Chain A
Amino acid sequence: MEKEILKVENIEKRFEGNEVLKNINFTVYENDFFFILGPSGCGKTTLLRIIAGFISPDRGRIILNKKDITNLPPNKREIGFVFQNYALWPHMKVKDNITYGLKIKKYSEDFIKRKLEEILNITKLKGVEDLYPNQISGGQQQRVALARSLIVNPLILLLDEPLSNLDAKLRDELRSELKRIYKETGKTMIYVTHAQKEAMTLAKTIAVMKEKEIVQIGSPFEIYTYPQNLFVASFIGDINILKGKIVEKSGNIFKIETDEGLFYAETNKEINSNDVFLCFRPENISKEEKINVIKGKVKDYEFLGEFLKLVILTEKGNLFKISLRPEEFENYKKADNIVFSIKREKFLLFEE
């Protein structure tokens, strides 16, 4: 078992009577790249600020390295924080921004110099250390913010939407930079974002938040493949949703009636209601099955090289997104007829 480093227990928080966090529980293990993923306004930034100590929770505990730090002020926590707007100090040069934490801790000048050199190399900031923050690019500012937090070697590093202030190209670039820095430093990181792509590509663990609560925690693979509810399923990746009624059940096979006809779905999940959502991912279709068939016309298509994405309109007026693998490619045109099916074990079933 990996070493437990941060434990968040029963955290609750209200702002002026409005509940913003409810019963938050999770554990972060050493060397994890832990993502808190959720739409804006779900309380994820508040949660991060509570861990850093900028806000105190109404209830619950924060345990860092087996020590209760809930009532410790932020300057005694040994938790790094990278701010969404970077919060670089405009009156200090880049190198003074970066070495601030070490100077506060009164390390020797030699040590600080060595550490600075080291971190400038890791974050590829060599050459700009004598400039002021407003003289460097957005991507560099982001790396300064990162370097400033990393240099003091915190137990964990919190990142609050670190890429949201950058344009699309820089964001891609910095995402891989972040991954490299994470690997090189081996730092445990908690990363808050609403961008599922960032989470899917970087995370080891993802905690999905919905309106003040964490709804699922797992690896990107688990979250994507076995989403626990419709929210998670539709928040991460594309999904097609059919409303249906269970008409028959035998073992873990469900016979479900929808306005597209009868479908058979297989799941080990316990389903307690007859009204369900029958869902499938665009890529989980096949063209060989005899059951679970959907017929329609191509409404739109997008060719991505490794995938062919189609939007299908059925006679009943339902829209489905599907993506075909190369071996299934055909030169589809608009209004072409198409037939596809879904393997019964590829269905995701959620109670309504």
Chain B
Amino acid sequence: MKKNYFYFALILIFLIFSFVYPIFHIIFQCFYQNGRFTFDVLKIAIDNYVIRKSILNSFLLGIIVVLTTSIIGIPLAFVFDRFKFKGKPILKILFLLPMISSPFVGGIGIKQVLSRFGGLNILLIKLGIIKNPISFIGSGFLGIVILQTLHLHPIMFLNISSYLNNFDISTEEASYNLGAKWYQTFFKITFPLILPGYFSASSIIFIWSITDLGTPLIFEYDKLISVRIFNSIKDINTNPIGYALVFIIIFITLLLFIFTKRYIEKKPYTTGKTVVSLTEKKLKGFKLFLLYMVLLSILFISLIPHITLFLYSISKKWFFSVFPAEYTNEYYRIVFTHRLTKTGILNSLIYSSLSTLIDIFLGFYIGYILVRWKIKGKAVIDILSMLPLLIPGIVIAFGYVSTFSNTIFDPMKNPLFLIILSYSLRRLPYIVRTTHSSLLQMDKSLEEASYSLGADTSTTFKKIVFPFVSPGIFAGGILAFAFSLMEVSCSLILAIREKFYPISKVIYILAGRVTDGPNTACALGIIGMFITGISLFISIKIFSKKIGDFFRIG
């Protein structure tokens, strides 16, 4: 088959322009000052007490969230893998629900519950457990930990689950057979064997946690690297500290990425023998009851942000009570009539549709090239198209502002182009992944048969290749669209003027308004969550078990 180098060039141009160039620009700015290479910027940043504290806080936050999500996600994955119980498929999908909202949107709801005179305090006082309200959120740090944990544990769950799916159970049995106890077997055999999956999940969660911008902003906690970067954008031309911070994040991200890749590829983790899958244990009676109780409690707690968000969005009055005193649907009406929310929804729809179209086009060709072409530099495309899963939005947004300010793409004037570019870059891996795995299952001879019968390239693509991968593209496309719709970091940073605000920025702005703003923000958040939830559900239906692939590196 003739290779179409036009698309190949197009892909390269897109990746360089949207990704490589901005990243290099940041690194360059960080080390090249006043006509010479220097470490001064890094040094100034680290010498600054507040900055140093923020970096340490972010690391602490990331590590804590990795630990808390491990504590929830790992046992959960094992329970779902090892036991058989009614309603398992539905529960498994329900456990992905926490992901359908950005943590910062849930933050608006949970603040209502955890604040000094919020639902939980009132409940505890009414029950006579406490006398004076407790400040659960404190400085805001704890609130961030809670929200990120509740939001991110499905990523741990999905990653460990997909590893356990291909786990050879006889390796565990061999250990028991030699006299090992369950904890010895877990720590010496099982855990080391799922370590690559655990490490990749932990990397994603760590980076997601330290670069999450929305949640700290909602909790007004600014001693974090992400908020520092956000604040530094305003004086990006005079104060270079932002560059140093973004560089640190890029450095950590690449380090984790390379380590994960190396680790998974270097170590011999499979025997290449037939995998023996286990027979799931059937639970009965009290044990089954206990299992349901534990699972449903975790699910309930994980969904508290969503539930309170919903209550908040329909509450007319909610002061000094556990539940709202009066309900109304007024805020949903406002969402569809108010100028700001209407613009937001329209903008988001435009941004997301266009970026998803770009993704489908590029993602399909990247997937195709990765599977079918034998070409030098393929590995580069592979890495470049997968890295955006890991490179945080805040880095990309910062890179765009610093690279494209005072050019025709300046976000101050019209961010349309940059927002679409950032969305499509960030969600590109979804389509690449799905196309890639569909094509791997498609035998090359199916295409060759078409050529041998006289079809040309475009006919073969239209009639043979595309129908084969279209379910995968559809699943990936829906997910890309939904997650673009609720994208936070780039939306907050790049949309500077009100008429370009996407949904996330509108929610953020509304949440900050005192009177009825937060209620409307919640209503908008619920609508967004609803769309994301349905999209995720459709994707799972199409892609079933492989859904974990979307939240994995390597």
Chain A residues within CB distance 8 Å of chain B: 15, 52-55, 73-81, 83-91, 100-101, 104-105, 132-135, 141, 148-149, 152, 165
Contacts and interface: CB of A to CB of B under 8 A. Distances in A.
B193 A89 contact: yes
B270 A87 contact: no
8 contacts: A75-B180, A87-B168, A87-B276, A90-B268, A100-B175, A101-B179, A133-B271, A134-B268
Given A74-B173, A81-B174, A91 B269 contact: yes
Contacts of B276: 83-85, 87
Interface string B171-195: 1011111111100100011001101
A85 B178 contact: no
B189 A89 contact: yes
Contacts of A54: 173, 176
Task: Name the interface size band of chain B.
Answer: 20 to 34
Pick the 3 closest A-B CB pairs, nearest first: A101-B178, A87-B170, A85-B273
B170 A83 contact: yes
B274 interface: yes
A91 B173 contact: no
Contact of B271 (A53, A55, A73, A88): A88
| Most interface-central of A55, A104, A132 (chain B CB within 10 A) | A104
Given A75-B177, A81-B173, A87-B271, 16 more contacts: A15-B279, A52-B177, A54-B173, A83-B170, A83-B174, A84-B276, A85-B274, A85-B275, A91-B193, A91-B195, A91-B268, A91-B269, A104-B180, A148-B178, A149-B177, A149-B178
A107 B271 CA distance: 28
B198 to A, nearest CB: 13
Nearest to B185: A75
A152 B180 CA distance: 12
Nearest to A145: B174
A87 B192 contact: no
A78 B176 CA distance: 10
B89 interface: no
Interface of B: 168, 170-171, 173-181, 184, 188-189, 192-193, 195, 267-276, 279
Contacts of B192: 89, 91
Given A87-B171, A91-B193, A74 B273 contact: no
A27 to B, nearest CB: 22
A195 B171 CA distance: 25
Contacts of A104: 178-180, 184
A293 B472 CA distance: 70
Contacts of B175: 89, 100
Contacts of A141: 271
Contacts of A79: 177
B265 to A, nearest CB: 13
Nearest to A88: B271
Contacts of B271: 85-88, 90, 133-134, 141
Nearest to B196: A91
Given A54-B173, A89-B193, A165-B273, A132 B178 contact: no
B277 to A, nearest CB: 11
Contacts of B275: 85
Contact of B174 (A15, A76, A87, A135): A87
Nearest to B275: A85
Contacts of B168: 85, 87
A152 B192 CA distance: 23
Contact of B268 (A53, A80, A105, A132): A132
Contacts of A77: 177
Contacts of B273: 85-86, 165
A87 B179 CA distance: 15
Contacts of B177: 52, 74-75, 77, 79-81, 149
Contacts of B170: 83, 85, 87
A260 to B, nearest CB: 47
A134 B270 contact: yes
B279 to A, nearest CB: 8
A88 B275 CA distance: 12
A79 B192 CA distance: 25
Contacts of A133: 268, 271
A39 to B, nearest CB: 19
A74 B176 contact: yes
A79 B267 CA distance: 31
A50 to B, nearest CB: 13
B273 to A, nearest CB: 4
A111 B232 CA distance: 63
A73 B168 CA distance: 20
Contacts of A152: 178-179
A343 to B, nearest CB: 48
B171 A89 contact: yes
Contacts of B272: 134
B268 A135 contact: yes
A54 B276 CA distance: 13
A89 B269 CA distance: 8
A76 B182 CA distance: 12
Given A85-B168, A89-B171, A75 B181 contact: yes
A86 B174 CA distance: 9
Nearest to A79: B177
A86 to B, nearest CB: 6
Contacts of A91: 192-193, 195, 267-269
B270 A90 contact: yes
Contacts of B279: 15, 55
B264 to A, nearest CB: 12
